[in-house]
Amino acid sequence: MNDSIKSVVLTEEQIQERCKALGKQITEDYKGKTPICVGILKGSIMFMADLIKNIETHVEIDFMDVSSYHGGTESTGEVKILKDLSTSVDNRDVIIIEDILETGTTLNSIVDLLKYRNCNSIEIVTLLDKPMKRKVDIEAKYVGEKIPDEFVVGYGLDFAEKYRNLPYIGTLKPEIYQ
């Protein structure tokens, strides 16, 4: 295990199980449709790659980079669009793929924007959910795992841009971020 990790929250095997189960559900719900899977950069890249391998209907993929975090471990509530979609979502079924849902501010602004752009439907899939931290009224239809309010890294998630490459999700030792 990495020296900076205090405890493992989801192992590689557990993550793959979640991806299989979520992929199966999405396959059933989108039969005969071709949704656009929108990955929210950068945190969702590993989850997106593993999840879509388990979706057995046609999908298109695209990415948005939206930032509400500025290097620390607390959300600032401020949302900036750093990279927009390259596909039109007009009349399309959109599935937003997120690493973690916390206050909900990030996803709420994205959902508002895509609704304004006239998508046909919009659902959220998130690997992790911290329901206790929610500030706005938003829920993901597909959730991999509900976790308590502790800062996590790995499998795409970072602390100051590091630890994204860990193949599992874990909590950081407090001395790393204090």
- Residue 104: CB minimum distance to ligand XMP, A: 5
Interacting partner of 171 out of ligand XMP, Mg ion, none (Cβ under 5 to 8 A depending on kind): none
- How remote is the C-alpha of 89 from its chain's centroid? 19
User: Exposed (0-12), middle (13-18) or buried (19+): which is 34, by Cβ within 10 Å?
Assistant: exposed
Nearest to Mg ion of 43, 154 (CB atom): 43
Helices (H), ranges, 30-173: 45-52, 105-116
Interacting partner of 2 out of Mg ion, ligand XMP, none (Cβ under 5 to 8 A depending on kind): none
Please tell me which residue in 56, 102, 123, 139 is annotated as part of the active site: 102
Which candidate, 78, 73, 52, 72, places its Cα nearest to that of 63? 52
Alpha-carbon radius of gyration of the chain: 16
Nearest to ligand XMP of 105, 125 (CB atom): 105
- Residue 69: CB minimum distance to ligand XMP, A: 5
Interacting partner of 12 out of Mg ion, ligand XMP, none (Cβ under 5 to 8 A depending on kind): none
Judged by the rule CB under 6 A, the positions of this chain that interact with ligand XMP are: 40, 43, 68-69, 75, 98-106, 151-153, 157-158
- Residue 133: CB minimum distance to Mg ion, A: 14
For this structure, is 28 an active site residue?
Answer: no
Q: Counting every residue, how long is the chain?
A: 178
- Residue 56: CB minimum distance to Mg ion, A: 26
Nearest to Mg ion of 6, 164 (CB atom): 164
DSSP 6-47: EEEEE-HHHHHHHHHHHHHHHHHHTTT--PEEEEEETTTHHH
Interacting partner of 29 out of Mg ion, ligand XMP, none (Cβ under 5 to 8 A depending on kind): none
Please give the Cα distance from 118 to 131 (Å, whole number).
Answer: 28
Q: Which residues are known catalytic residues? A: 102
